[in-house]
Amino acid sequence: MPSPSQGYWWVLEYEGSWSDHLRQIVGFAALTPSNWHQKTGYLCRVGIHPLHQGKGLHKRLIRVRESHAKRLKWHWLVTDTSPDNYASSNSLIRSGYSLYEPWYPWAENKASLYWGKKII
């Protein structure tokens, strides 16, 4: 898992009503260069606060990382999910990602699913 000093990170803030004057972090995502493939990025971390799930934030974070990877002239994005993480899997499928079998399975969980998408 990359530290916050590695790769590129996005943080989602929610501003409460004008009377709250509160900002809360409700999500985050990270993108790093792949350790195993050239011109490839790894969607390595994402999290959405439970109160803000189901609002399309995960898909938005996928899109912003895809846009950044295109600016970096990367050709592919890859990621992995646990087999029981249906919400992430569905967001990836809806965003055009397909399952694939890597030549070097990198995830700690041996049952992980691997996803990839050509972006250029």
pLDDT in tens, the chain (120 residues): 566 677 999 999 987 655 566 678 899 999 999 988 889 999 998 999 999 999 999 999 999 999 999 999 999 999 999 999 999 999 999 999 999 999 888 888 899 999 999 998
- In this predicted model, what pLDDT tens digit does every residue of 28-43 receive, in sequence order? 999 999 988 889 999 9
Structure tokens at 24: 């809360």
Structure tokens at 12: 């989602």
The domain locations on the chain are 8-118
Q: What is residue 2's predicted lDDT score, i.e. its pLDDT?
A: 60
39, burial (CB in 10 Å: exposed 0-12, middle 13-18, buried 19+): middle
Bridge partners of 118, per DSSP, are 76
Do the beta carbons of residue 69 and residue 30 sit within 8 Å?
A: no
Q: Which CATH number fits domain 8-118: 3.40.50.2000, 3.40.50.2300, 3.40.630.30, 3.40.50.1860?
A: 3.40.630.30
Q: What is residue 27's predicted lDDT score, i.e. its pLDDT?
A: 95
